[in-house]
């Protein structure tokens, strides 16, 4: 994804954390509020979920059932997977963003814009296609909600990764696309591209793959949800540069408006003690002299001097 990961030329100053934090908070707030405000049409969400499941079976892509049975039968795998689903999404993504801000400044702005753009595109997907995750389907479809099964070991309850008792604060039918996978892919691409240590680059490969397995094994997403999450990130990467140009143009227009504002005229004070006032011969009080008056004085002086010289020559 070259458009969103290539380092951009410096705009002349390092990004400031006190401007970046409010911007990120606003976008994440819009994302969270949008998920809550979108009407949860449960029948439509269930039908969308079943349609995805039927399509996957037709394409022989149904890996969710065996993964889910594996985590359900082995708590040693299921409990860590639930912790990974409930926490890494909110820890690794900001950690990579801060790492870029501090260590890879030239790449930070494009990466941040890519993440924000893709997140808002994901919100559009939640709005247009509410989707019931596998764990909320009827039990005869063969899925077990591992988050509920192992809830005694964590802070979550019936609302997936939401803290116990706060499931009403999240939209549980926002499964398509999977931004768990999308954000993990964003982290992986940036770690691979900008990491210098082999372990960092290896983590960039492992983290998205692990996330795909976790979201399917915990019955929170279908495989096609993960594919859609990757597609959203790809579209966001293509839109990053145009959005940055639009932002730069808007910033330039605002700066031009402020630049055209006239500054208040400051009166220039004279550096002469007399403030331009001169004293002519025979004057005790200085008066302001005009250029014409000065030239008249000079001519009079020259005429008087010439007359004295002539008189001296005659004698």
Q: What is the pLDDT of residue 118?
A: 95
The pLDDT tens digits of the residues spanning 301-312 come to 445 454 555 555
Digit-by-digit pLDDT tens for the chain (315 residues) are 655 666 555 444 567 666 676 767 777 776 666 666 655 678 999 999 999 999 999 999 989 999 999 999 999 999 999 999 999 998 999 999 999 999 888 899 999 999 999 999 998 998 889 999 999 999 999 999 999 999 889 888 666 666 665 555 577 888 999 999 999 999 999 999 999 999 999 999 999 999 999 999 999 999 999 999 999 999 999 999 999 999 888 878 887 887 775 555 455 554 544 545 555 555 555 554 545 544 455 454 445 454 555 555 545
Residue 134 to residues 57, 259, 263, 271, 296: CA-CA distances in angstroms? 14, 57, 64, 84, 104
CA distance 182 to 228: 8
Residue 149 to residues 144, 210, 213, 269: CA-CA distances in angstroms? 8, 21, 18, 83
What's the token pair of residue 200? 């960092």
CA distance 135 to 62: 15
Chain mean pLDDT for the chain: 80
Other beta carbons within 10 angstroms of residue 213's beta carbon come to 16
Q: What single DSSP character describes residue 12? A: S
Q: What is the pLDDT of residue 83?
A: 95
Single pTM value for the model: 0.75
Cβ-proximal residues to 180 (8 Å cutoff; 6+ apart), any chain? 85, 89, 211, 214, 215, 220, 221, 229
Question: Residues 133, 175: contact at Cβ < 8 Å?
Answer: yes
CA distance 121 to 252: 26
The pLDDT tens digits of the residues spanning 117-133 come to 999 999 899 888 999 99
The pLDDT tens digits of the residues spanning 197-207 come to 999 999 999 99
């Amino acid at each position: 994804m070259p458009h969103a990961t290539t380092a951009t030329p410096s705009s002349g100053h390092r990004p400031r954390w006190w401007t970046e934090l409010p911007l990120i908070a606003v976008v994440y707030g819009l994302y969270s509020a949008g998920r809550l405000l979108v009407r949860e049409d449960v029948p439509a969400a269930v039908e969308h979920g079943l349609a995805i499941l039927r399509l996957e079976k037709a394409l022989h892509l149904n890996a969710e059932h065996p993964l889910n049975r594996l985590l359900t039968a082995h708590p040693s795998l299921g409990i860590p997977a639930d912790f990974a689903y409930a926490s890494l999404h909110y820890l690794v993504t900001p950690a990579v963003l801060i790492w870029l801000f501090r260590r890879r400044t030239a790449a930070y702005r494009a990466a941040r814009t890519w993440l924000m753009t893709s997140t808002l595109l994901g919100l559009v997907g939640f709005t247009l296609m509410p989707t019931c995750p596998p764990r909320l389907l009827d039990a005869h479809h063969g899925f077990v909600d591992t988050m509920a099964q192992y809830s005694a070991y964590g802070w979550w309850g019936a609302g997936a990764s939401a803290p116990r008792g706060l499931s009403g604060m999240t939209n549980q039918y926002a499964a398509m696309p999977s931004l768990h996978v999308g954000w993990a892919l964003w982290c992986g691409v940036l770690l691979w591209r900008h990491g210098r240590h082999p372990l960092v680059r290896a983590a960039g490969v492992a983290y998205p793959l692990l996330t795909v397995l976790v979201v399917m094994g915990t019955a929170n997403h279908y495989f096609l949800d993960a594919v859609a999450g990757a597609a959203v990130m790809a579209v966001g990467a293509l839109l990053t540069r145009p959005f940055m140009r639009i932002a730069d143009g808007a910033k330039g227009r605002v700066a031009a408006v402020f630049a055209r504002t006239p500054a208040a005229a400051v009166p220039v004070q004279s550096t002469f003690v007399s403030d331009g006032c001169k004293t002519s011969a025979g004057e005790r009080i200085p008066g302001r002299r005009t250029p014409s008056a000065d030239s008249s004085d000079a001519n009079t002086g020259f005429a008087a001097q010439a007359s004295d010289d002539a008189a001296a020559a005659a004698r």
